Amino acid sequence: MDLSQKDWWEGFLKDQDAIILDVRTEEEVASGKIPNSINIDIYKGQGFVYQVEELDKNKTYYVYCRSGARSAQACSIMNQLGFEKTYNLIGGIMQWEGPIE
């Protein structure tokens, strides 16, 4: 599900079991990331699937990338793998106004 920045961040802050997933490349992550996010690069193809399948499917995932396109794709893949709660950040980190590390 696509969420606005406000709803995405508020949802994450309210959910103690939530995980922020950054699906950008390592180079992109090096230029700044949302605090406490984990990085699994969607461009790794099957490697992305293998890494995602090791995650807890019962948790809620707040997913982002640079603009929102790759993270939407990641949410779709995760849903196909049995994840029920995935939320895509509309506009990605390019439009992010929250904390960055």
The answer to whether the CB of 24 falls within 8 A of the CB of 50 is: no
Q: Name the pLDDT band for 20 (thresholds 50, 70, 90).
A: very high
Residue 58 belongs to a domain? yes
Q: How many domains does the chain have?
A: 1
Q: Which of 34, 52, 65, 75 is catalytic?
A: 65
Band of the pLDDT at 16, cuts 50, 70, 90? very high
Mean pLDDT of the chain: 97
User: What 3-state class would DSSP assign to 61?
Assistant: strand
Examine residue 65 and state whether it is found in any structural domain, yes or no: yes
Does the annotation count 75 as an active-site position?
A: no
For residue range 57-101, list pLDDT tens digits in order.
999 999 999 999 999 999 999 999 999 999 999 999 999 999 999
Which residue range(s) make up the domain with 84?
2-95
pTM of the model: 0.97
Can you give the pLDDT at residue 59? Answer: 97
By the 8 A CB rule, do 68 and 91 touch?
yes
pLDDT for the residue numbered 34: 97
Give residue 13's pLDDT band: very low, low, confident or very high (50, 70, 90): very high
- Domain CATH for 43: 3.40.250.10
| pLDDT tens per residue, range 27-66 | 999 999 999 999 999 999 999 999 999 999 999 999 999 9
